[in-house]
Structure 1
Amino acid sequence: MARVAIIGAHGKVGQELMRELYDAGHDFVGVARGEESAEDIFRLGGEGVTLDLEQADAETLAGALAGCDAVIFTAGAGANSGVERKRTVDYGASVLTIAACQAAGIRRLIQISAAGVDDPSTATVVPDPQWAAYVAAKRDADAELRASGLDWTILRPTALTTAEGTGLIELAESVDRASGSIPRADVAATVIAVLDNPGSIGEQWELTGGSTPVAEAVARLS
């Protein structure tokens, strides 16, 4: 059993992660922005920590993470949040989390990113400055994590849906992004499989809906 911190716990993926961690028997700390969110985390079986990632420093976040064995970063500014907040949350909060892990002596950090962000054409698929800023923020955050010296894994899902999880995915260095999508529940299940598999350390994978059971897909590549 591990003690795991979720950065961005009250987001849609974060809530799925809390359910998965609870079912797997892991203790978890959920870091969220509002007090009401922290109360929701408690009701889901975890310890809620109220922290504004855009205002906190690494020392403060490290204190919240103390005693954790691993951290999952799934924070994001969300749709229509503006170009600036893509940088301060999707990138800035990731960099803050890296520094906090280093300060707290936590080696394991799993980051949920987005498929295709290293491909320059991805930023122009949607003609929207917010989309371009989002792609750049995820790309740069992943680069910071790869250079951090931590025991990292980066998961890059295709379009996220609210559909019920199937437990079946496609996991690879690169997947077909054009028509790909994946339920958030299956992303969360993949994170748990990665958490339990040390062979995933230092790996960056894209994932989408597929035909391979989650644990088998992770084991094949680890």
Structure 2
Amino acid sequence: MNVFVIGITGKIGRLLMQELLSRGDAVHGLVRRDEQRADLAAHGVDAVVGDLAGMSVEELAEAFGDVDAIVFTAGSNGGSREFTKAVDGDGFVKAIEAARRAGVVRLAHVSVFPEAWRERDLGDEVEYYFAVKKEADMALSRSDLDWLIIRPSLLVDDPGLGTISLGPAEFHGQVARADVAETIAELLHEPGIGRQILELNTGSTPIRDAVKANAHRRQPDAGQVHAAPVPLRRNQGVGGKN
């Protein structure tokens, strides 16, 4: 498989890169600096230097090239409103349109758990981040792409267990980033997964079995238009934090 990762220098992005390479996949990514590109090249990864916020749709589509799938795992994680809007909001909508123009139908979004940390006073910027992530999910789910939305629970840097709980609705707990990366790779390689929202938590089911349990027999029709994408607006809805 030929995969382009937006957010490849992040914690999940780098783990996903390693997981895909171990499977023999070709991996590409978007980086902001030349030294990051050189570092990834040493691992056999072809990266494009560019700023998601500043790139045009045409430039991003050219960066994608002829890949089989795109994974969007970039995010502000509750940083400034400006950065959240530029990356998680406008940047994600740009990625949807760029995927269309490049002829790439499979786009996976690493999103957030809707009810995460509801017991906490998170502050306006984090709440805004949740809202933008939810609107991004809406935009993707109403697109004509062969989309996938993955909502992991609280991310931790513990060693991966190799077992998870995966489904349309899961309890929010925590999950190792290594398990998230392995799950994403497995989902990309499962042809029966598509046009689904899957929540991900620590569990007792082996990752491959959990993915197979959520697969369904289908004939993807990425050319069928289901609904127009929803433009992102400020302060609409509340999502969750991973």
For normalisation by structure 1, the TM-score amounts to: 0.92
- Pick the structure with more helix per residue: 1
Give the conservation status (yes or no) of the 8 Å contact 1:169–1:214: yes
Q: C-alpha distance in 2, partners of 1:82/1:57?
A: 22
Give the conservation status (yes or no) of the 8 Å contact 1:123–1:135: no
Equivalences, count: 215
Q: C-alpha distance in 1, partners of 2:155/2:31?
A: 21
Relative contact order: is structure 1 or structure 2 higher (C-alpha 8 Å, sep ≥ 6)?
Answer: 2
Partner of 1:104: 102
- Structure 1 letter corresponding to 2:36: S
Partner of 2:133: 138
Deviation at 1:122, TM superposition (A): 5.9
- Output one character per residue of 1:141-168: Cα deviation in whole Å (capped at 9) or x when no partner: 1111011110011100001111111111
1:1-222 pair list within 5 angstroms: 2-78=1-77, 81-116=79-114, 125-177=120-172, 180-222=173-215
- Structure 2 letter corresponding to 1:35: D
Task: Describe the shift of the 1:212–1:38 C-alpha distance in structure 2 as closer, same or farther (beyond 3 A).
Answer: same
Give the conservation status (yes or no) of the 8 Å contact 2:77–2:129: no
Could you list the runs of 5+ residues in structure 1 that have no partner in the other structure? Answer: none
For normalisation by structure 2, the TM-score amounts to: 0.85
More displaced stretch, 100-109 vs 126-135: 126-135
Give the conservation status (yes or no) of the 8 Å contact 1:75–1:93: no
Q: C-alpha distance in 1, partners of 2:55/2:77?
A: 19
Other structure's SS at 2:192 match: helix
Deviation at 1:78, TM superposition (A): 4.0
Give the conservation status (yes or no) of the 8 Å contact 1:159–1:182: yes
